[in-house]
Structure 1
Amino acid sequence: MKIHLTSVFVDDQADALRFYTEILGFVKKHDIPLGEEHRWLTVVSADEPGGTELLLEPAGHPAVKPYRDTLVNDGIPLAQFAVDDVKAEYERLRGLGVRFTQEPVEMGAVTTAVFDDTCGNLIQIVTRPK
């Protein structure tokens, strides 16, 4: 068994696609219309095009807003992405205007940072020892 797909709820799929591809560097994998307003919209890592897909899922369900608001208010990231060097990625993303809620912090063998994905979520990036 392996993880094939996971999702993040997003306020606007077009804005999310722009952020996740143009800023974070993911690549669009699927973009299938689902009615007039929504799409089955997934992105993947440019380094692993056959890897786990991230669904940019519309945040329209009534349970989503209180769930995400609580996580954001408590500073809890919705997802975590691995990067080779958190400090370098932090600098690159800040240079692109990304707002961080946690600067790089060393926590034993790992380094983490947390940013606002502009779509209603906090996302953590992490570097683990190789």
Structure 2
Amino acid sequence: MKIALTSVFVDDQQKAQDFYTGVLGLTTKHDVPLGEHRWLTVVSPEAPDGVELVLEPNEHPAATAFQEAMAADGIPVAVLSVEDVEAEHARLTGLGVAFTQPPTAMGPVVTAVLDDTCGNLVQLMAAAAPA
């Protein structure tokens, strides 16, 4: 058994696709029109057959409430692994991305938390440099 898909609720699928691909550097895997919405997934270009992140419309009242509560409490809804959190923080800050937590050492990892512009907080994570 392995994880194939996971979802994040977004307030605008096109804005989310633009951010996750154009800013974060992920790649669109599926973009299938489904009436007013789309089956829209992104993947890491380093693992195109890996776990897909579904950019799911947040129109259901429970989804909207969940998304708003998580953001209000400062809780990331997804974690993206990177090689170097400090370098990604610098790159993304240069692109205008807002961070709610700068790179912070947390034991065996370094993390940072960014605003995805679509209603979510996303955590970046990398292994900490050996002491």
TM bin (shorter chain): over 0.9
Matches within 5 A, 1:97-116: 97-116=96-115
CA distance in 1, matches of 2:93, 2:110: 17
RMSD: 1.0
CA distance in 1, matches of 2:109, 2:81: 11
Q: Is residue 37–residue 57 contact of structure 2 (8 Å, CA) maintained in 1? A: yes
Question: Which residue type is aligned with residue 9 of structure 1?
Answer: F
CA distance in 1, matches of 2:2, 2:59: 28
User: How many equivalent pairs are there?
Assistant: 129
2:60 maps to which residue? 61
Alignment partner of 1:80 is 2:79: yes
Q: Is residue 5–residue 51 contact of structure 2 (8 Å, CA) maintained in 1? A: yes
Cα deviation, 1:77-106, whole Å, max 9, x if unaligned, reads: 011010000000000000000000000000
Question: Which residue type is aligned with residue 32 of structure 2?
Answer: I
Offset at residue 128 of structure 1 (A)? 1.8
Offset at residue 129 of structure 1 (A)? 4.9
1:25 maps to which residue? 25
CA distance in 1, matches of 2:67, 2:8: 10
Secondary structure of 1:63's aligned partner: helix
Provide the TM-score with structure 1 as the length reference: 0.96
Unaligned runs of 5+ in 1: none
Unaligned runs of 5+ in 2: none
Q: Is residue 105–residue 128 contact of structure 2 (8 Å, CA) maintained in 1? A: no
Provide runs of 4+ in structure 1 moved above 4 Å. Answer: none
Provide the TM-score with structure 2 as the length reference: 0.95
